[in-house]
Amino acid sequence: MQLSRIGTYHSSNADRVRALGMLLAAVFLLATPARAQEEGRDKGFYLGLRFAASGLGVDDDGESGFFVKDDGGGVQLFTGYSFNPVFSLQLELGVASHETSVQAIDAGFGSFAILAHYRFAPGKNFRPFIKGGLGGYGLVLTDNQTEVRVEGGGAPIGGGFDFFFSRHFSLGVDFTYNIITYNKVTVDLGEVTAGFDIDEDGAQSSLGLALTYYF
């Protein structure tokens, strides 16, 4: 199996972006800006949940009738520790589902990443951030009898912003672009499992809406 034989639709995430923008605009209009409260957000643990649109970045070589649709959706769970008002380390777990050209075959994308966050505007309610780190990734194709896993490592980079409503809660938008090198394929036929090494470049992007609780 060659990873390049998994084609994609290169459709736009514009509808999801517009929906996120409308939701955030409604929240900001309804919210009464509060004075920034540094206590509880400048140092300590936090936990969050993010609902995200997912886009795969695998090229289509045009030789196969099978493909995984580029656009999908899923959830991401993250936790981290803020060492000071601007720097934190964060762990993220994410899963996303994607349709394929064959109804009986399901596709899923999973990720695990360790990221460093740098936050601007300390002490303010509106706080942009940038992030980067290291991650592990897997694309899994399954039907009733067979599972194919394509795995590898890479580097996530991205940014976004959080809007703090209190010292304990924030709502934010996050964009992450994952640069991936796939290096292993495993085929599980139930009673027989086989694997082999590959060297294929790939990518995945996510745009999400996050709710975070600060302890």
Residue-number span of the structural domain to which 59 is assigned: 3-214
Rounded Cα gap, residues 54 and 31, in angstroms: 29
- Going by pLDDT thresholds of 50, 70 and 90, the confidence category of residue 189 is confident
Q: What's the CATH code of the domain at 187? A: 2.40.160.20
pTM of the model: 0.79
pLDDT in tens, 75-97: 999 999 999 999 999 999 999 99
Q: Quick: pLDDT tens for 23-33.
A: 555 555 544 44
Task: Say if CB 70 and CB 12 are below 8 A apart.
Answer: no
CA dist list (Å): 167 to 20, 124, 129, 157: 23, 11, 17, 27
Number of independent structural domains in the chain: 1
